[in-house]
Structure 1
Amino acid sequence: MHYGFAIDQQRCIGCHTCAVACKIENNLPDEMWWNRILTDGGAEMDIPAGEFPNSTIEYVPVNCQHCANPACVKVCPVGATYQDPETGIVRQDADKCIGCRMCVAACPYTGVRSFNWEEPQFMLGMDLGDADAPKHQKHTVEKCTMCWHRVAKGEEPACVEACPGRARIWGDLDDPESDVAKLVASRSKKQLLPEKGTNPSVYYLV
C-alpha cells in the first residue's frame, strides 16, 4: 500500500478551501499552514502571467509530498521523521522531535515544514478540528500528516473531502483499481522537482 494524491490542475480554481479545511481539521496554530496554494503566473498570488487576452495562470497546491524516497527521513537523528511501512505516509513524531530542523534543511520542497519557535498560539483560544489530530508543541517541526488520524479510521484527508471542484484525489497508488492510480496512469502528469530523486507521492494532472 502506498497512499498518495493526484491534483487535477484543470479543476483547481485556487479557492484555498483545502488549505482552510486542513488548518481547521488539524487545529493548526496561528500563521501556520500545512497546505498552500501557489500561483504559477504573475509576481503575486492570483495574478496571471502575460497580458490579456494572452494571459495564463495555474494553481499549484503544495503540501508535504510524502516522498517514496524521503530526504527528511534519512537525516533525522532521532527517528522523529519516519515513513510508515504500511501506508508510505511520511509521519512526524512530536514527542521525539528535538527541534534540530535537519528535516527542514534536507527537504527540497520549500515551505512544507514549519517550526514552532514558541508555544503555539490559537486565535480563538480553543481547539478546533478532530480530537485525534496531532497536538502542537514548542520547539518541534510540523507538516502535513495526510490526515493520518482520519486515514486510520478509513476516512479521506480533510483537504480531499472539502475540495469543491473535486480537484484533489487520494488513495492507494499501488492499487491499479483505485481512482488515484487510474488517473495517474491515464493522464499527463508531473511531479515537483523530480530531479531531486525523492519520488513524490503527489502527482499534478495537467
Structure 2
Amino acid sequence: MVIDLDVCIGCNACVAACTAENNVPVVGSEQVKVGREMHWLRIARYYAGDVEEPRSFFQPVPCMHCEQAPCEMGCPVHATTHSPEGVNQMVYNRCIGTRTCSSYCPYKVRRFNFFDYRPASDAPEHAAHNPDVTVRSRGVMEKCTYCTQRIEAAHVAADKENRPIRDGEVVTACQSACPTKAIVFGDIRNPDSEVSRLRGDGRHYVLLEEQGTRPRTTYLARWKPPEGQG
C-alpha cells in the first residue's frame, strides 16, 4: 500500500470506511480519553508555522505490515503471523491478551479490546455487521488486515476463472472511500502494478525507516512549494 500525502486532505473518510467494513467497535469518548480507542486506522495530524495561522499536515497511519515485524517477535503464543503473501495477520482465538505486540510496535497501530463490545445474540445491531469479518471479543488484540476478506474474495474469483488477480482488482475499504484517491493497494511483486510504480517515485519514503522493520505500507511525501508559491 502506498499513501500519497500530497493529496490527503485529512477528511477521515478512510477511518469511517474501515470501521464499517471491519466491524470495529465504537467505544465512546470516555474510553478514548484513557487511550482505549479502537480505530484500526488513525489520521496523525501535525502543524507548522505561526501559532495563529499554522499549516496543517495529515498522515493516515494503518498497520505497516512489516517484513521484519517486531510484533511477531514479541508474541508469546504466535498469534500474530505472516501469510504466504506477506500480510501481517492476527489469529484472534490464539491471542491471550498480553499486549506485548503493541509494546513492540513502533507505529502504535494495534488495538486491544478492553471490554466485550459485542451486542447480545438477539440484538438487531447484528444486522449492521459485515458478515465476512469476525466480531472480536474482549481480551484480544486487533488491527488493520488490508481488508483480508476482500483479498480472499478476489482470490476465489480469480481461481474460478483460472487466472491471476488483476492489478487493481483488490480495493481496500479505506482506498474505496478516499475522495482524493490518495491510497493505492496492489502487488509489489508485480513490477507493472500501480503500487510498484509509486514505490519508484522520487517522493517515496518509509515511515521510521531507521527502525529496520521494512514496512509494506509506505508513503509519497508531501511536496512543499517555495515560499510565496502556493
Using structure 2 for the length normalisation, give the TM-score: 0.78
Structure 2: give runs of 5+ residues left out of the alignment.
28-37, 155-169, 222-230
Q: Work out whether 1:78 is the aligned partner of 2:77.
A: yes
RMSD: 1.8
Counterpart pick for 2:197 among 176, 182, 191: 182
Q: Which amino acid aligns with 2:90?
A: Q
Q: Does the 8 Å contact 2:83/2:89 carry over to 1?
A: yes
More helix by percentage: 2
Residue matched to 1:28: 24
Residues 70 and 105 in structure 2, CA contact (< 8 A), matched pair in contact too: yes
The answer to whether the 8 A contact 1:67-1:198 is kept is yes
- The percentage of counterpart residues that share the same residue type is 37
Asked whether the equivalents of residues 7 and 204 of structure 1 are also in contact (C-alpha less than 8 Å), the reply is: yes
Q: Compared with structure 1, are the counterparts of its residues 166 and 129 closer, same or farther at alpha carbon in structure 2 (3 Å cutoff)?
A: farther
Instruction: Give the direction of change, closer, same or farther, for the CA distance of 1:141–1:50 in structure 2 (3 Å limit).
Output: same
Q: CA deviation at 1:186?
A: 2.1
Mapping of residues 159-198 of structure 1, within 5 Å: 159-198=174-213
Q: Partner letter of residue 160 of structure 1?
A: Q
Q: Could you tell me which runs of 5 or more consecutive residues in structure 1 were left unpaired when the two chains were aligned.
A: 42-48
Q: Distance in 1 between matches of 2:127 and 2:26?
A: 12
Q: Which runs of 4+ in 1 moved over 6 A?
A: none
Tell me: CA distance 1:30–1:127, structure 2 relative to 1, closer, same or farther (3 Å): farther
Q: Which has the larger radius of gyration?
A: 2
Q: 2:46 — aligned with what? A: 40
Q: How many residues align?
A: 192
2:118–2:135 CA contact under 8 A, matched in 1: no
Residue 196 of structure 1 deviates from its aligned partner by 1.1
Which residue does 1:119 correspond to in 2?
Answer: 116
**What SS is found at the alignment partner of 1:7?**
strand
CA distance in 1 between partners of 2:127 and 2:213 (Å):
34
What is the aligned partner in structure 1 of residue 86 from structure 2? 88
Aligned counterpart, 1:61: 60
TM-aligned CA deviation for residue 54 of structure 1: 7.5
Alignment match, 2:217: 202
What CA deviation, in whole Å up to 9, does each residue of 1:135-156 have, x standing for no partner? Answer: 2111000111110011111232
Please, what TM-score do these two structures have when normalized by structure 1?
0.87
